[in-house]
Amino acid sequence: MVVLHYTGMRSGQEAIDRLRDPAAKVSAHYVVEEDGRIFRLVPEERRAWHAGKSFWKGETDCNAASIGVEIVNPGHEFGYRAFPDAQIEAVIRLLDEIRIRWTVPDCRILGHSDVAPSRKEDPGELFPWKRLAGAGHGLWFEPAPAPGPALKVGDNGVGVFALQAGLHRLGYEPLPSGEYDQETATVVTAFQRHWRPDRVDGVADGETRARLMGLLQLASAESVTGVLT
């Protein structure tokens, strides 16, 4: 898989210095600056310590199964802002190259918040996932209007169970219980940061659920195509 992060520091140089400091015990394969410069810090075939405690589709050691890309942005703590065009074009080029060397399905191009939703928010709701998918990297689905009652903390029943089962099938960790607890809200928030960035509130309204169902269909089709080819 490829895991995208934002650096969450005041400058790119500050982030690179930290990623190169053995005492920090954190590393990444690449850093992409706001002006489009790309720095390789760790060879792709080696483990980098970027994901931390994480999970995706049964994988509990994401560091061993992923390439980590740090995208320079101050993040929510230091003045979160849109990612410049030059930077996103560089990320797209980098993914083009990575996916020539490695088999990485679209359903495994993820954000840090996807694999560690209880700890991380990056690269966040301003990251242009739709643009990335349009360039051929990652899944994206926009449904027709999807009315219906929203599911939220405190709800329970079959609808909540189906939502949780869908999120788990997509890749998120928690198993379905039928109870919309705070953990479910946290995972829904992470899902929205990636796939419904105009609503990041942990409430699973009709459109959020419709996007999930569409993404599951895309991921399933990709899996079948991968087997056949």
Report the helix count and the strand count for the chain, using DSSP H and E: 8, 5
Count the alpha carbons within 13 Å of 129 in the hemisphere toward its beta carbon: 27
67-71/2-6 β-pairing = parallel
pLDDT tens digits, 177-228: 999 999 999 999 999 999 999 999 999 999 999 999 999 999 999 876 654 3
Cα 61 to Cα 15: distance, rounded to the nearest angstrom: 23
Question: Does the pTM of the predicted model rise above 0.85?
Answer: yes
Long-range pairs, 40-47, Cβ under 8 A, ≥24: 41/16, 44/98, 44/101, 44/102
Using DSSP's 3-state secondary structure scheme, residue 176 falls into coil
Which one of 33, 70, 121, 207 is the catalytic residue? 70
pLDDT at residue number 145: 82
Q: Give me the pLDDT at residue 227, please.
A: 41
Q: How far apart are the first and last CA of the chain?
A: 19
Contacts (Cβ under 8 Å, ≥6 apart) of 191: 114, 167, 170, 172, 208, 212
In tens digits, what is the pLDDT along the chain, a chain of 229 residues? 999 999 999 999 999 999 999 999 999 999 999 999 999 999 999 999 999 999 999 999 999 999 999 999 999 999 999 999 999 999 999 999 999 999 999 999 999 999 999 999 999 999 999 999 999 999 999 998 888 899 999 999 999 999 999 999 999 999 999 999 999 999 999 999 999 999 999 999 999 999 999 999 999 998 766 543 3
Q: Which residues contact 62 (CB under 8 A, 6 or more apart)?
A: 1, 3, 51, 54, 55, 56, 115
pLDDT at 148: 83
Cα angle, residue 167 at apex, residues 189 and 128 outer, rounded to 5°: 50
Cα 217 to Cα 78: distance, rounded to the nearest angstrom: 37
Q: Write down the pLDDT at residue 222.
A: 86
Q: How many CA atoms lie within 13 A of 30 on its CB side?
A: 25
| Per-residue pLDDT, 33 | 98
Give the type of residue at 32.
V
Residue 207 designated active-site: no
